[in-house]
Structure 1
Amino acid sequence: MIPQFRKALQIFGAIAVILAVTVTSLTLYWVTDSWPQQSGQILLPQLRDRVEVRRDAYGIPHVYASNEHDLFLAQGYIHAQDRFWQMDFWRHLGAGRLSELFGESQLKTDQFLRTLGWARIAQQELQTLPDKFLAPLTAYTEGVNAYLQEHHGTDLSLEYGVLKVMNASYQPEPWQPEHTLTWAKVMAWDLGTNLDEEIERGVLLQTYSPEQVDELFPPYSNQAPVILPDWKIAQGDSDLIGNQLGEIPSGETAVSMGAIASQLSPTFNSVSEQLSALANLTGPRGGEIGSNSWVVSGAKTATGQPLLANDPHLGVQMPSIWYEMGLHCTSKTPDCPYDITGFSFAGMVGVIIGHTDRIAWGCTNVGADTMDLYIEKINPENPNQYEVNGKWVDMDQVTETIQIAGGKTQFETVRYTRHGPIISEAYPKLKPLLLPDLASSNPSIYAIALRWTGLEPARLFTAILQLNQAQNWQDFRKAAQDFDIAAQNLLYADIDGNIGYQMPGKIPMRTQSDGRYPVPGWTDEQEWKGYIPFEKLPFTFNPPSGYIVTANNAVVDESYPYLITKDWDYGFRAQRILELLNKKETGFDFESFREMQGDNYNLNAQKLVPILLNLPFEDSHLEKIRDLLKTWDLQMDKQSPGAALFETFWKQLLSATFHDNFLVDFWPNAGHRWIKVIADLVDDPESFWWDNVLTPEVENRDFIFQQAFGEAVAELEKRLGKNPQGWEWGDLHRVTFRNQSLGQSGIAPIEAIFNRGGVPISGGNAIVNATAWNARKSFEPTWIPSMRMIVNLSDLDASVAVTSTGQSGHAFHRHYSDLIPLWGNLDYHPLVSSRSGVESNTRDTLILLPN
């Protein structure tokens, strides 16, 4: 939680404690009052016909409607029943309106979000949305508002009772179509990548040489897995624009970076602080997160038909980001073409990941570099002008009105260059930077603008609805053409036995940079030259290998003539998945896929443990404890002493190697990039990075390894006791599911209401069972497999899935946390989709009727 928000809540701490006692005494009224009706009948005059909602033992609904309007109206109604607080919070977050909920403590965050302008872009998208896509969006909005008409305050959700202490006058407004489209921007931002790395590289360049910075951001290995290793772009494309220069550009750009990197560092740091604060609300971003998916053809399965697996890795939250459901037209027709089952977002129309009656799809983040920071020259005599090719040009301006709980109003001016909003003006404490002009002896003022494809009108919403209707590979690729932001590795399988892959997205073409560093914006040299044409984006259909694996690793090799990114995930999860696929080769079934999704093998340990075992130790006590690693199977099981010992050593190794070199904000987080950095450095035992610059001695690799191991043993003995056989990884690696808003208050009674967890789990960083932790903080997982899905194309009712928490967003409801045990033990529930399968699993039936 951002500090200002915590401070604001702590001011009301005493009141909150009293409130908590009151909530306890009024449990039967307040808590159960918000629980939705799940059986019987409800009259909804907005409907055109009868709608049936069947829920299973986990509260997962399947909706049956005779027409498209009623289908999506019912989806909106049910989302609001179970998750309206989540929807309300998300729409305020996306629109930069958190101050309306939580007061002045959120003003800086709102200023930054208004500068990005997601809500303004969503309005533009809404104006251009074709009627065939506007109709489902409008129907969904009607459904949400139908629920809001009859429910208020704690009747909507328990969070509103707590909020009333801080903001007594708040009443949720009606849902609007643009709220749905704005949420798509939030997810696109969450999945965005490279911006954080671009800032970090820019800051580090003030201290280290480009070559040293490159060691901290190593290139993707030519030995690492590539999703489409044999994919070649069509011949005859000699007109391709060269856009993959691998070094900091020469000429003026190189001079500018060297001249102003250190002076811009405070600005970069301030922007980085706001990105981190926003990440506390939206979850880890971009390069910090990942996902797994793989598909095998029928030639390799026990059934003779494809199997598809997907487990997207997202930030830990309560309730889960996913809402599982089925949407079925009672009779599929051109006017009502939906028969879909899978995972939705509360607030979003349709199903994001899942299957229709004929095809299935999964998603992992490509990590495409779609963000660039431009350093703009500002006119010293007119702060509303910036330089373009030697001339001062007026900026575009938008005035934003920020309403603050309590009645205050704040006006903010957002300035735009041709590249995008000036994000360095989002902080009142920042002043324009006066630096030596690179072209003359006169000083210039600099500011930073953000260009991002997500700040342009997009078609992601139409892509989702088209995926929800797809019946074959052609339909799937047509839908993918509109999947233009938050580029995903789209994996495909169908009941006819086909498998495939498509990379979509608006990927910029650069001519003079590789996107790794901020660039000067006052000439045309660093401009984007359009986007990679869709027909040139990588895809495959029924590859000879009989399988496709995606885990955020490189999509294609260096022969691909366009730049996608220089900041791929380094492929450790993909490598392990491929090892498991090649080890078994054929006969894949549910159990083998389950074992793969739960695989805890640590490739980092495979590299480092042999080095550690070969080092001499003068301390016999340390030698004896090190013997734990001799028999360890390198699996990060929660009961494993070896896993606890290695991961504590890994944390201490990063600390001993790098904490003397960086500010706290750039300390290693223990993720895949740092695994790659250390894997390269261990081959150079005398590297500059091994030396602790704070000591007079010159340390080397072996010294740092020995030091880190000693520190790890000391930490474990202090935390887990003197008996190494009793150490367990799960005692350190416990996941707590926190409510994104009120669950991070620091006020124990409030957190106890909304949070669940402290659950020991297996896995770790760059593990297939990806339960990643951040070494800057603790061993607590920060992002996890947010759901797991295995789709059986021979019998869709034989598919299985699980989310991380539960369907309900209502604290203390039986479906608030009932999926945590399944998820934690790598178990699943049936992902049924046929009418007969749904009926056989039905526990509650709700009938929605028009007047």
Structure 2
Amino acid sequence: MRPKTGRLTRTVIAAAAVLGLGAALAAPLPQPAQAAPAAPAAATDYCQGQCADILPPGANGNATLVEILGNKVFGTHPEHSTDQLGPYNDLAGAYPTLTDDKLTSFFNDSSFGVPADQVASVTKPRDDVTITRDKKTGVPHIQGTTREGTEFGAGYAAAQDRLWLMDLFRHVGRGELTSFAGGAPANQGLEQDFFRQAPYKEEDYQAQIDFILAHGGERGKQALADAQSYVDGINAYAKKAKDGRYFPGEYVLTGHIDAITNAGEIQPFKLTDLIALASVVGALFGNGGGGEVQGALSLLAAQQKYGLAEGTKVWESFRQRNDPEAVQTLHDGKSFPYGGKPADAKGTAMPDRGSVTPEQLVYDREGGATTKDRVKVKAPTRSLEKLRGIYDNGVLPRDLFSRKKGMSNALVVSGKYTASGHPVAVFGPQTGYFAPQLLMLQELQGPGISARGASFAGVGMYVQLGRGQDYAWSATTSGQDITDTYAVELCSPDGGTPTKDATYYRYHGDCLPMEKLERRNAWKPTVADSTAAGSYRLQVYRTTYGLVTHRATIGGKPVAYTSLRATYRHEADSIIGFQMLNDPGHVKDPKSFQTAAQNINYTFNWFYADSKQTAYYNSGLNPARAEDIDSSLPVTAEPAYEWRDFKPSDNTAAYTPPAEHPQSIDQDYYISWNNKLAKDYAVSGFGNGSVHRGNLLEDRVRALVEKGGVTRAALTRAMAEAAVTDLRGEDVLPELLKVVRSKPIDDPKAATAVEQLESWRSAGAQRKETSAGSHTYGHPDAVRIMDAWWPLLVESAFKPGLGSELYDALKANLPIDESPSAGHGPTGSHAGSSFQYGWWSYVDKDLRKLLGEDVKGPLAASYCGGGDLTSCRDALLTTLKQAAAKPATEVYPGDASCKAGEQWCADAIIHRAVGGIGHDTISWQNRPTYQQVVEFPAHR
């Protein structure tokens, strides 16, 4: 265990005594590490000091009750809980002068092992494994003499760093968050959103284990053995921490353990808990597609506005499923057809206008309103009033699943274009900002395992993103369409006429009952949550075609729309691919790397670099659909339109073969920021067109490659510059300015606003502090005007031509804005990730066509000013003057963290607390949460 005693702890205990908490907190003192042998020798490391990584806020994500109190009263932090936040934040201002020798000022050396003079502690939880933690970051370096011991150590170290978080997420995965952590509205919302996507029965979790045993071969058996050893390690630490009273303090705050008597327990983890955790990861980061019902509603609105043929053409131009101007990760021209629009779609199941209703989820609600009346607690626990209410807003963000996720980027350059002749990579997942972080760092060394990097807490039996002995890998979310919507015909078992709320449906001619999946949750107020006692029942119906999401009629007949996801009931299968990535005996070159990635069914783009080569592979369980199916719209639930070889008993089907997945070896460079993957590989969702945040990387990396001599620092600078750049300002503002400048500007206020925007654009259109800690942008008025202008200009340009109904329907498919301060945007406020979802391509294409420029894949009609340049200019100038007149207090109205008008704060990143420890606000930057910078000079 990590030693945590010392002057600070004694100070907090003294303060606790002053606050009347002495009796409650004096007993659970953290214990020092046991004496142990010196750290074992590091594994062979071919990176030779040229690999680095970072994961804010810090490696340690556990805090005792004493430490939580210290954070709330004094602002102190447990050791290694926040020491990666400062370097991460500082890069946003320091990147222009970055050189290779300065990289470790902003990243941690990710070499294998720990030098003798950097060893902070050495722990042996059992004889066949050693956990060494370094002084600088506290990252666990786990080395086992047996494979079982290695995995036991991984679980033990994971519990040391993320026990509370893992416990939270296994309850999220089971749809039991409120019963575990209280009934705060955010907890209820999160629980409901997840249960709607991945409801399971206990036997469903076991079925995933059985499927891996039956179909995973020897690697599958080994993976489950590894997972069981990992669980054993978690439980060993949890018991030791509970008995020694140095367990996470959140267990006291949520009423699971008594601070005085130590009564209560931490429920042991089971193998099925890891399946529940994997289902959360899959729902958050490895999903793709869906949304076909909303797509159908906007198509109906377009057809209502323009007629059947023209309306379909207009809708397709906004859908942009295969836009020829979209930036692509694979730019070598090779085609990978998938998910495109068929010439003559069959089986499409469009609802009757006005008939669609969402499926009810919550039933039998009792109580649960927020109140100041809490359950009374006996003294001295009553003294914990200081900590009451810290979870009134929930232990996890309400919108964790309902919000779209902007995730991950990658920049990889072939050795042909680098200064050293070796490939260079800067890449990592953009998984959001949490305290503690959802990811955790570790190094694993043992028989058949050799890797360092990041893993999702609770499923870290392998490193999921990181580096091996002579190679590194990372991923971005690809989000290709692996989720389809089916319209199942409703029926009545007695042969009568069914209603829209019927719970029987037709399957291959039979009238079958829907399977009801339920979760009954009840909660009561806790020390940290003042929500009144309450309960409810969550209910989802499951059919052979997936989960019921909506009800509607088609031609007057009632149907249920269902969501069928290829990875549903198979989230754990990917464990085999991750095992292979960690195995130095398997991954030796790009081809073997791609083989490993093929065994991961989540929708990810995978990137690879060693000392000689680079590679890319798109993973995902892509269903092989029936011919002429349009997967962007609902499909009739009949045998002719099912996935090929569909087997509903275990939700399997035929899948597209590996050769049909976008892939490449040694392309001159790769960039990815959730953009289009390859030619003819259709994207899911709307708005992947001529302007995408991937362009911010593409333009910079292409320029570096054309110049040659790329270094780690140069590639990092490209990433960091893109991370503080406003996409609208760089790639759409030039066209806006051309239109408003098409004639002299007579209005002085409009002219001033235009000059401010031009000056900002010339300086790089950045949202960056003038100096570290200034909390002031270099062009604050221009940024304010852009933020205020964008929603006004989009509405003035498109709403008159589209009409209110279609405009609103298209906004439901794709929000118009996602600037850093846009709390109304798809990823929420203070989230870091920005500019993935918006109408930038629509505005760009519309204005370029108006200006007479060449536009490939134009919108089907002209919108701004009805296609008249003068009228468009007038509309833009009118909205520009309105935007310029808006004060900062209106553009940035303030929230619980920022005062109205605080521009920097409105953009800033705030780590969302999922435990009792909070962290300082940092400057906005649009970059991966966990990030690697790597360049291997040698290879096995």
Q: Aligned partners of 1:265 and 1:214: how far apart in 2?
A: 24
Superposition deviation, residue 171 in structure 1: 4.3
Match 1:385 to one of 504, 527, 530: 504
Match 1:631 to one of 759, 766, 790: 759
Letter matched to residue 255 of structure 2: K
Letter matched to residue 203 of structure 1: L
Superposition deviation, residue 137 in structure 1: 0.5
Change (3 A) 1:630 1:518: same
Q: Could you tell me which residue of structure 2 aligns to residue 647 of structure 1?
A: 787
Q: Any residues of structure 2 matched to 1:598-613 within 5 Å, and which? A: 598-600=720-722, 601-605=725-729, 606-612=731-737
Change (3 A) 1:566 1:651: closer
Letter matched to residue 227 of structure 1: T
Q: Could you tell me which residue of structure 1 aligns to residue 234 of structure 2?
A: 144
Change (3 A) 1:243 1:579: closer
Letter matched to residue 231 of structure 2: T
Q: Could you tell me which residue of structure 1 aligns to residue 168 of structure 2?
A: 89
Change (3 A) 1:159 1:707: farther
Match 2:711 to one of 572, 576, 589: 589
| 2:206 equivalent to 1:123 | yes
Change (3 A) 1:25 1:313: farther
Q: Could you tell me which residue of structure 2 aligns to residue 202 of structure 1?
A: 296
Q: Could you tell me which residue of structure 2 aligns to residue 730 of structure 1?
A: 904
Q: Aligned partners of 1:310 and 1:43: how far apart in 2?
A: 33
Q: Could you tell me which residue of structure 1 aligns to residue 700 of structure 2?
A: 580
| 2:919 equivalent to 1:756 | yes
Q: Could you tell me which residue of structure 2 aligns to residue 340 of structure 1?
A: 451
Identity %, equivalent residues: 18
Change (3 A) 1:279 1:152: closer
Q: Could you tell me which residue of structure 2 aligns to residue 678 of structure 1?
A: 843
| 2:528 equivalent to 1:404 | no
Change (3 A) 1:720 1:503: closer
Q: Any residues of structure 2 matched to 1:89-238 within 5 Å, and which? A: 89-103=168-182, 110=191, 113-114=194-195, 116-118=198-200, 121-127=204-210, 128-129=212-213, 130-152=220-242, 155-164=246-255, 171-191=265-285, 195=289, 197-209=291-303, 210-230=312-332, 232=334
Judge conservation of contact 1:397–1:413 (CA < 8 Å) in 2.
no
Letter matched to residue 339 of structure 1: S
Match 1:244 to one of 306, 329, 340: 340
Q: Secondary structure at the match of 1:368?
A: coil
Q: Aligned partners of 1:97 and 1:343: how far apart in 2?
A: 27
Q: Secondary structure at the match of 1:662?
A: helix
Judge conservation of contact 1:654–1:668 (CA < 8 Å) in 2.
yes
Judge conservation of contact 1:373–1:450 (CA < 8 Å) in 2.
yes
Judge conservation of contact 1:738–1:754 (CA < 8 Å) in 2.
no
Q: Aligned partners of 2:201 and 2:503: how far apart in 1?
A: 23
| 2:680 equivalent to 1:552 | no
Letter matched to residue 345 of structure 1: F
Judge conservation of contact 1:489–1:503 (CA < 8 Å) in 2.
yes
Q: Aligned partners of 1:556 and 1:215: how far apart in 2?
A: 19
Letter matched to residue 919 of structure 2: R
Q: Any residues of structure 2 matched to 1:299-378 within 5 Å, and which? A: 299-329=416-446, 336-348=447-459, 349-378=461-490
Match 2:873 to one of 673, 688, 702: 702
Q: Secondary structure at the match of 2:703?
A: helix
Superposition deviation, residue 299 in structure 1: 2.2
Question: Can you list the C-alpha shifts for 1:683-715, whole angstroms capped at 9, x where unaligned?
Answer: 4669675579xxxxx995334322332232233
Q: Secondary structure at the match of 2:910?
A: strand
Change (3 A) 1:261 1:321: farther
Larger mean CA deviation between 580-589 and 654-663 belongs to 654-663
Change (3 A) 1:103 1:718: closer
Superposition deviation, residue 23 in structure 1: 7.6
Q: Aligned partners of 1:20 and 1:626: how far apart in 2?
A: 59
Q: Could you tell me which residue of structure 1 aligns to residue 103 of structure 2?
A: none
Superposition deviation, residue 149 in structure 1: 0.7
Q: Could you tell me which residue of structure 1 aligns to residue 750 of structure 2?
A: 622
Superposition deviation, residue 556 in structure 1: 2.1
Q: Aligned partners of 2:320 and 2:164: how far apart in 1?
A: 42
Judge conservation of contact 1:180–1:347 (CA < 8 Å) in 2.
yes
Q: Secondary structure at the match of 1:172?
A: coil
Count how many residue pairs are aligned between Structure 1 and Structure 2. 696
Larger mean CA deviation between 47-56 and 78-87 belongs to 47-56
Letter matched to residue 54 of structure 1: R
Judge conservation of contact 2:605–2:616 (CA < 8 Å) in 1.
yes
Question: Can you list the C-alpha shifts for 1:590-639, whole angstroms capped at 9, x where unaligned?
Answer: 21022011023445323324433652655413322331222222332322
Letter matched to residue 327 of structure 1: L
Structure 1: give runs of 5+ residues left out of the alignment: 1-17, 235-239, 272-276, 330-335, 425-431, 693-697, 722-726, 743-752, 763-769, 771-783, 797-833, 835-851
Match 1:508 to one of 605, 617, 623: 623
Q: Aligned partners of 1:564 and 1:626: how far apart in 2?
A: 35
Q: Aligned partners of 2:727 and 2:456: how far apart in 1?
A: 33
| 2:172 equivalent to 1:53 | no
Judge conservation of contact 1:472–1:494 (CA < 8 Å) in 2.
no
Q: Aligned partners of 1:534 and 1:20: how far apart in 2?
A: 65
Q: Aligned partners of 1:401 and 1:566: how far apart in 2?
A: 31
Match 2:607 to one of 478, 491, 494: 491
Superposition deviation, residue 90 in structure 1: 1.0
Match 2:567 to one of 451, 454, 458: 454
- TM-score scaled by length of structure 2: 0.66
Q: Any residues of structure 2 matched to 1:246-285 within 5 Å, and which? A: 246=342, 249=345, 253=348, 256-257=349-350, 259-266=351-358, 280-281=397-398, 283=400
| 2:545 equivalent to 1:419 | yes
Q: Any residues of structure 2 matched to 1:787-802 within 5 Å, and which? A: 787-794=930-937
Letter matched to residue 139 of structure 1: S
Q: Secondary structure at the match of 1:759?
A: coil
Larger mean CA deviation between 86-95 and 729-738 belongs to 729-738
Judge conservation of contact 1:94–1:119 (CA < 8 Å) in 2.
no
Letter matched to residue 734 of structure 1: A
Letter matched to residue 738 of structure 1: R
Superposition deviation, residue 759 in structure 1: 2.6
Letter matched to residue 538 of structure 1: P
| 2:157 equivalent to 1:78 | yes
Superposition deviation, residue 528 in structure 1: 4.8
- TM-score scaled by length of structure 1: 0.72
Superposition deviation, residue 144 in structure 1: 0.6
Larger mean CA deviation between 358-367 and 579-588 belongs to 579-588
Letter matched to residue 452 of structure 2: T
Q: Any residues of structure 2 matched to 1:772-791 within 5 Å, and which? A: 785-791=928-934
Q: Aligned partners of 2:246 and 2:396: how far apart in 1?
A: 30
Judge conservation of contact 1:286–1:367 (CA < 8 Å) in 2.
no
Q: Could you tell me which residue of structure 1 aligns to residue 85 of structure 2?
A: none
Superposition deviation, residue 452 in structure 1: 0.2
Change (3 A) 1:669 1:604: closer
Superposition deviation, residue 216 in structure 1: 3.6
Structure 2: give runs of 5+ residues left out of the alignment: 1-15, 30-63, 69-77, 81-118, 214-219, 304-311, 364-393, 495-501, 525-532, 646-653, 769-776, 819-835, 851-858, 893-900
Judge conservation of contact 1:233–1:536 (CA < 8 Å) in 2.
no
Question: Can you list the C-alpha shifts for 1:457-507, whole angstroms capped at 9, x where unaligned?
Answer: 3521111111011431243223122111x2211111223x12111222211
Change (3 A) 1:679 1:564: closer
